[in-house]
Chains A and B, each alone.
Chain A
Amino acid sequence: MKDQTTTQDLKDRLTLIENMISEGRRTTESWGWTFVLWGMAFYVALTWDSWGHSAWAWPITMTAAVVVTVILVSIKTGGEAETTLGRAVGSVWLALGVSMFLLFPSLGIAGKLIDPHLFIAVASGMLGMANAASALILRWKVQFGCAVIWWAAAVAASFVTGNQAAVVFIIAIFICQIAFGVYGMIQEAGAKSRRGTAHA
């Protein structure tokens, strides 16, 4: 076979291998919308909570957000490839979701979630951890910036008044969920339009 194959053809095959391996590793998954969705869910829960229906505001809003996320993910998933990187990042967020859904309802049912400082500090700290882990896996400085903001919110919520802690939480949600989610969606749209279809 090698006698019939030119050197240029062999070089082309090496280039093809390199291109296809790097093309396979480029994930086409889009997750920016989940940050926006959950940011909006946090705002709905906070607003509802402030109107005095505090017992049901967070459980109902968070459960609804989970249902919407699962439905949208199942609709959007298809024609995809699974990468180790994607599974690692997905695992971080899944673990965060499970931790929050076990911890906060348990604290609420036990009547120990009466201090808003505690809720905001713990939630912000956990979100900081998940953002940092995701950022370190993806080597994404912008997301690491979000982790730093969440950690700062967690520390600040421990020292300021209840109202100030709520304001800090609202600002952190806006920057790290809404603004970061929109930024992610713009980045994903740009990457998809630049990439196009690779022909082998």
Chain B
Amino acid sequence: MPDLPELNPVIHGKLRLALLSLLAGIEEAEFTWLRNKTGSTDGNLGAQLARLEEAGYLRVKKKFVNRKPRTLYRMTDAGRQALTEYIQALKQILGTAIDT
């Protein structure tokens, strides 16, 4: 039986996985858009986004539009690579589970 891959613990959290997946399909998104899409609270969302940023999977940009602050999140190449590897690992584990 082949060695099964480890799942990246930074991505494995459900909200962090949802956030990376959302950002994979777009160029960049505002904090409020991510909150609406995930139905998360501000505090939890901020904490999970900070963890993804610490891991180098997200890049944050702050700007003012019409004097209102806007925080924009964009997925980095490292984040895209990590999500791809996570999906491959997930499929490999599931494939093994079906075979056994």
Contact = CB atoms under 8 A, between A and B. Distances in A.
Main secondary structure, interface of B, reads helix
A13 to B, nearest CB: 6
A1 interface: yes
Interface in B1-43: 4, 6-7, 9, 12, 14-15, 17-19, 21-30, 32-33, 36-40
A132 B96 CA distance: 48
Contacts, number: 108
A13 B19 CA distance: 12
Contacts of B63: none
B25 A25 contact: yes
Given A2-B7, A24-B21, A78-B32, A13 B14 contact: yes
Interface of B: 4, 6-7, 9, 12, 14-15, 17-19, 21-30, 32-33, 36-40, 65-66, 68, 70, 83, 87, 90-91, 93-94, 97
17 contacts: A1-B9, A1-B12, A20-B25, A21-B21, A24-B21, A24-B23, A24-B26, A24-B37, A77-B65, A79-B30, A80-B30, A80-B33, A81-B27, A87-B27, A197-B37, A198-B38, A200-B15
The 6 closest A-B pairs by CB, nearest first: A200-B18, A20-B21, A24-B25, A81-B29, A199-B39, A79-B32
